Amino acid sequence: MTARVVLLVTSPRLPAGLLTAAAWDLVRASPVLAAAESELSTAVRAAGADVTVVADGAAVDALLATAAAHGTVVWLAGPCGDERLARELGLRLAREPGLAELELMYGSWDPPGARLLDAVAVMDRLMSPGGDPWKRQQTHATLAQFLLEECYEAYDAIASGDLVALREELGDVLLQIVLHARLAQELPEPQRWNIDDVAGGLVEKMVRRNPHVFAGTRAGTVEEITENWERIKREEKARDSVLDGIALVQPALALAAKILQRSARAGLDVPPPAADPADAEDRLGARLLAIVADARTAGLDAEAALRRAALGYADAVRAAERAAAAD
């Protein structure tokens, strides 16, 4: 039978003893080698397996000799996967075929969302002494424009249907979130909060506002689910007006549509204010508001429609520039 060298790779984000059944069977049945003592080597020993620590530089020879003697040997890879050892072992086996077969086994995998932990760790390094001076000088106020810009760029990617670009742009939005949370860690008590507070609040809100998923509440239609969401939201937030909570800095067409939506949802039929005949800007505003109201009645998005028309006009301008240049 061909000798076998198994590189056992595990997730550093999980407790050392959380291995698959196949991995436990392997380490119990075969000699195990490692470059150093670790939590994983301790867990493997505690389960009754034999772990031998080998000196740096002797690992390849030790693995091949043990594989020849026992048929199979397991190498407990470090947190980074021991790429240098794998490369050296692969080159050795390529030069001397027949010595052993090299196999990779995953004893555990990173849980979903593990790279979010990496993002938090990288941001902490950038914001710590010796990190990035620019980021350390920022405040929530100085970063506000960048958060808005990144959201717009993500919107552009969605509008253009470019899902590859969307992935990158959402990463930029996430950077802003992680950076704001890291800045908040420096605030004095009781204003201080961190990324776990952000995520924890989000989790609690999702669970609380989706009782049809987490609490057994019956909601058969999307309309019923939406009504449940709005009812729970009203109970959570004591507001004096249905318009409270609307972001007033959003683009004017979107703002008008949101105000009309909220008032209609509350069952209010409020006529728009009369425009001042002597004020041209007031008359224009009233006409635009009426257009947004008509768009809502027709099920159209006035903001998206104007954006589409503006971009179409921009294409026409560029075409005219190219034609003029050609002439």
Q: Where are the domains of the chain?
A: 4-106, 114-236, 252-320
Residue 101, classed as helix, strand or coil, is: strand
Note down pLDDT in tens along the chain; length 327 residues.
689 999 999 998 888 889 999 999 999 999 999 999 999 999 999 988 889 999 878 999 999 999 999 999 999 998 777 888 899 999 999 999 888 999 999 999 988 998 999 999 999 999 999 999 999 999 999 999 999 999 999 999 998 899 999 999 999 999 999 999 999 999 999 999 999 999 999 999 999 988 888 887 777 788 888 877 777 877 777 777 888 888 888 889 889 999 998 898 888 888 888 889 899 999 999 999 999 999 999 999 999 899 899 999 999 999 999 999 998
Q: What is the pLDDT of residue 24?
A: 94
Beta-sheet pairing, 32-34 with 51-53: parallel
CB-CB contact of 103 with 4 (8 Å): yes
pTM exceeding the 0.75 threshold for the entire prediction: no
Q: What is the pLDDT of residue 14?
A: 86
Gap between the Cα atoms of 66 and 50, Å rounded: 13
Tell whether domain 114-236 is in CATH 1.10.287.1080. Answer: yes
Q: What is the pLDDT of residue 235?
A: 77
Nearest-CA neighbor of 180 among 195, 165, 169, 167? 195
- Reading the block at residue 224, the tokens are 């019923």
User: Which one-letter amino acid corresponds to residue 298?
Assistant: A
Nearest-CA neighbor of 12 among 117, 130, 89? 117
Q: What is the pLDDT of residue 159?
A: 87
Q: What is the pLDDT of residue 224?
A: 80
| Cβ contacts of 235 within 8 Å, gap of 6 or more | none
Considering the domain 4-106 in this protein, what is its CATH number? 3.40.1010
Q: Is 12 exposed, middle or buried (0-12, 13-18, 19+ CB in 10 A)?
A: middle
Gap between the Cα atoms of 8 and 23, Å rounded: 8
